[in-house]
């Protein structure tokens, strides 16, 4: 009989002395080794028998992975191993990137957030990841160490399917970097879950805007969670909000465009049809909240 709680399988815990050693090890053991941060996805997937890695590679203590730094001229860098509670508590995040703290606060519980990381949320590449939308709309760029050294990878185009990204064997994300945000920006993340704690989003809507020289007076960015195989940017809805004067009709039109862009599935958390309608309703609400915050 299938045992739904099989317990963790045996694995070797590997702690390389440098990023180069870690990248080499991961590339040499492709398919049987994986880096981890908080382990809140990794150990659950291993316990439930979906992942059968022989080696779990701990890179958390290497080269600035635990640092969070802000420079007023270049922006914010969050090391891959910084847990979500540290992000939420960071005065720089609260002052300059409050949307990130707002999104991180919707992830499960305080206990889980003391392990879970933003970079783990991104690399896990679930379309339901609650912090991914904030990272996309604020122009997050991943710093990656691979076999050929360091490179930067923007989040646009990073996700290729559920659990799949453009990362290559040996790649380790060391940090996520955000540019200095435009003056007067405001954001909002609305998560619809089945309960307040420890549930993934049925639908998540991120809205972000800042004053700009456009027909609406603003540049709008949107991202949707749990409504497509990857985190979704509804570009047409963004264009409507940026390209026309803001009225109730414009907001309704953009919300409809966001709904039309979705391609959700039916699952235990909600039907595809329900998800689509909730995208329309929550986009309208998130955009209205952002406009109120902008003013």
Ligand X SMILES: Cc1cc2nc3c(=O)[nH]c(=O)nc-3n(C[C@H](O)[C@H](O)[C@H](O)COP(=O)(O)OP(=O)(O)OC[C@H]3O[C@@H](n4cnc5c(N)ncnc54)[C@H](O)[C@@H]3O)c2cc1C
35 binds ligand X (CB under 6 A): yes
Out of 23, 42, 77, 206, point to the residue binding ligand X (CB under 6 A): 42
Select from 33-41, 150-158, 212-220, 234-242 the region that touches ligand X (CB under 6 A).
Answer: 33-41
37 binds ligand X (CB under 6 A): yes
124 binds ligand X (CB under 6 A): yes
Intra-chain end-to-end CA distance of the chain, in Å: 60
242 binds ligand X (CB under 6 A): no
Site residues for ligand X, 190-219, by CB under 6 A, read 198, 200
**Residue placing its CB nearer to ligand X in the complex, 69 or 256:** 69
d(CA 239, CA 98): 24
β-bridge partners, 178: 76
d(CA 103, CA 116): 13
Residues 6+ away with beta carbon under 8 Å from 9: 46, 49, 52
Site residues for ligand X, 138-167, by CB under 6 A, read 167
**Residue placing its CB nearer to ligand X in the complex, 1 or 17:** 17
Out of 78, 80, 203, 258, point to the residue binding ligand X (CB under 6 A): 80
119 binds ligand X (CB under 6 A): yes
**Residue placing its CB nearer to ligand X in the complex, 171 or 238:** 171
Out of 75, 79, 127, 129, point to the residue binding ligand X (CB under 6 A): 129
Is residue 83 within 8 Å of residue 116, measured between CB atoms?
yes
Within 10 Å of residue 162's Cβ, how many Cβ atoms?
A: 14
Out of 112, 180, 230, 265, point to the residue binding ligand X (CB under 6 A): 112
d(CA 269, CA 94): 31
Out of 115, 168, 177, 236, point to the residue binding ligand X (CB under 6 A): 115
Minimum distance of ligand X from residue 193's CB (angstroms): 7
**Residue placing its CB nearer to ligand X in the complex, 58 or 289:** 58
Per-residue mark of binding to ligand X, 91-110 (x: CB under 6 A): ----------------xx--
Angle subtended by helix axes 248-261 and 272-294, to nearest 10: 140
Out of 40, 85, 226, 242, point to the residue binding ligand X (CB under 6 A): 40
Both structure tokens of 200: 């993934």
Is residue 261 within 8 Å of residue 238, measured between CB atoms?
no
d(CA 143, CA 173): 6
Instruction: Tell me, letter by letter, the H, E, C secondary structure of 38-74.
Output: CCCCHHHHHHCCCCCCCEEEECCCCCCCCCEEEECCC
Residues that bind ligand X (CB under 6 A): 34-42, 44, 80, 107-108, 112, 115-117, 119-121, 123-124, 128-130, 167, 172-173, 198, 200
């Amino acid at each position: 009989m299938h045992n739904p709680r099989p317990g963790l399988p045996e694995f070797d815990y590997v702690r390389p002395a440098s990023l180069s050693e870690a990248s080499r090890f991961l590339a040499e053991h492709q398919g049987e080794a994986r880096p981890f941060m908080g382990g809140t996805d990794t150990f659950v997937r291993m316990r439930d028998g979906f992942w059968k890695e022989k080696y779990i590679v701990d890179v958390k203590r290497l080269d600035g992975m635990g640092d969070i730094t802000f420079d007023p001229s270049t922006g914010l860098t969050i090391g891959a191993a910084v847990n979500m509670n540290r992000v939420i508590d960071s005065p720089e995040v609260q002052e300059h990137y409050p949307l990130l703290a707002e999104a991180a606060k919707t992830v499960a519980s305080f206990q889980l957030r003391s392990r879970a990381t933003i970079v783990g949320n991104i690399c896990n590449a679930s379309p339901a990841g609650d912090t991914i939308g904030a990272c996309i709309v604020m122009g997050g760029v991943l710093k990656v160490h691979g076999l050929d050294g360091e490179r930067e990878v923007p989040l646009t185009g990073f996700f290729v399917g559920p659990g799949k990204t453009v990362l290559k064997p040996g790649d380790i994300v060391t940090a996520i970097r955000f540019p200095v945000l435009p003056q007067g920006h405001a954001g909002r993340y609305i998560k619809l879950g089945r309960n307040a704690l420890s549930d993934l989003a049925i639908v998540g809507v991120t809205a972000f805007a800042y004053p700009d020289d456009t027909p609406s007076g603003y540049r709008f960015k949107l991202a949707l969670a749990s409504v497509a195989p990857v985190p979704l940017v509804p570009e047409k809805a963004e264009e409507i909000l940026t390209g026309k004067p803001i009225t109730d009709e414009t907001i309704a039109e953009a919300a409809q465009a966001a709904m039309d862009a979705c391609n959700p599935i039916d699952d235990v958390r909600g039907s595809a049809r329900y998800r689509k309608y909730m995208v329309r309703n929550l986009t309208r609400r998130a955009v209205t909240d952002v406009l109120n915050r902008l003013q």
